[in-house]
């Protein structure tokens, strides 16, 4: 019990502190926007690169882990889009349901897996991020692109450029390349590790600052259905697929944590910039983070995937 308290109180406590700081001490939007850019463009890529570079890729069940994660994401995307079609939602609203159904808050994932499994959890969390981010980016970018004006041409090169220039993907690519070459060079390794250590705390503070409690009452039925997909169906799918594919306990535990996470707060930015339903996205982001306070510890505790 103490272990779980030590894992989850820091993660969710940082969210609460971020919300408090935004409302009481650091109320200027520009401050948080600057920290978010720092985390997204510098600190998170450094965390991913340093964590992945420390992994011996030859010892990982990379193929099976990728298969389980990608199959779960595709299934989650199909269910999310199917829900939107069943309810005859407009395209912009559908994209927000899709983002709420399959995107994830990787900063919380690193906080939890690092607390549960130590350095091995952080490293495998980086690998999981390297598998999830490209898939999610392709699916959501395609979803937005396919909803443009009638007759608008789909531009594969533009979509590929958006995916490949994502700083998180670049960080993963650097990490995989370094791991294949034996790790980061001296001097660079501790520098990247130091930058990465700052990512989790600052990032979770930003997540807490971005949550909007006033949006909770908007379209409760649709929110409930989307939350059920993200916080219930997705971890169940990864559990079933991971066991069917024979993933070891550590790989399955990390994959489960990342698939059970609430949606990314950047989903709101993407919805606002690309014609999605931004108010619904803000509501889903807040609701999923509040519900994850209960659902995430339950998935780990009830399924016996705690510290080994």
**Phi, psi (5° rounding) for residue 248?**
-70, 165
Q: What is the pTM of this model?
A: 0.85
- Parts of the chain with a pLDDT under 70: 1-4, 147-154, 215, 273, 303, 305-308
Q: How many CA atoms lie within 13 A of 125 on its CB side?
A: 30
DSSP letter assigned to residue 230: I
- Of 194, 163, 178, 208, whose CA–CA distance to 25 is shortest? 208
Over residues 178-192, the pLDDT tens digits come to: 998 988 999 999 999
Over residues 241-291, the pLDDT tens digits come to: 999 999 999 999 999 999 999 998 778 777 876 778 888 888 898 899 989
Predicted local distance difference test score (pLDDT) of residue 65: 95
Give me the domains of the chain, ranges plus CATH numbers: 2-302 (1.20.1530.20)
Q: What is the DSSP string of 181-225?
A: TTSPPTTHHHHHHHHHHHHHHHHHHHHHHH--GGGTTSSHHHHHH
Predicted local distance difference test score (pLDDT) of residue 160: 76
Predicted local distance difference test score (pLDDT) of residue 9: 84
Conformational region of residue 22, where left means phi above 0, alpha means psi within -120 to 50, and beta covers everything else? alpha
């Amino acid at each position: 019990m103490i272990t779980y308290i030590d894992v989850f109180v820091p993660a969710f406590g940082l969210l609460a502190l971020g919300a408090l700081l935004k409302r009481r001490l650091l109320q200027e939007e520009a401050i948080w926007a600057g920290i978010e850019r720092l985390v997204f463009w510098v600190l998170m890529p450094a965390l991913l690169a340093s964590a992945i570079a420390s992994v011996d890729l030859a010892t990982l069940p990379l193929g099976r882990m990728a298969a389980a994660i990608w199959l779960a994401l595709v299934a989650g995307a199909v269910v999310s889009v199917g829900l939107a079609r069943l309810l005859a939602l407009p395209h912009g609203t559908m994209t927000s349901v899709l983002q709420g159904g399959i995107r994830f808050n990787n900063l919380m994932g690193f906080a939890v897996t690092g607390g549960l499994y130590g350095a091995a959890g952080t490293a495998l969390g980086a690998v999981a991020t390297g598998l999830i981010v490209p898939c999610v980016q392709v699916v959501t970018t395609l979803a937005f692109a396919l909803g443009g004006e009638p007759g608008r041409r789909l531009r594969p090169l533009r979509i590929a450029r958006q995916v490949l220039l994502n700083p998180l993907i670049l960080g993963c690519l650097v990490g995989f390349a370094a791991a294949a070459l034996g790790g980061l060079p001296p001097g660079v390794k501790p520098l990247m590790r130091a930058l990465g250590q700052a990512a989790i705390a600052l990032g979770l503070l930003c997540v807490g600052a971005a949550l909007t409690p006033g949006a909770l009452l908007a379209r409760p039925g649709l929110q409930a259905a989307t939350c059920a997909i993200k916080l219930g169906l997705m971890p169940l799918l990864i559990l079933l697929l991971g066991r069917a594919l024979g993933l070891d306990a550590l790989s399955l535990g990390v994959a489960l944590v990342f698939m059970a996470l609430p949606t990314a707060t950047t989903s709101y930015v993407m919805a606002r910039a690309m014609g999605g339903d931004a108010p619904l996205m803000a509501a889903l982001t807040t609701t999923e983070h509040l519900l994850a306070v209960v659902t995430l510890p339950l998935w780990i505790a009830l399924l016996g995937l705690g510290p080994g």
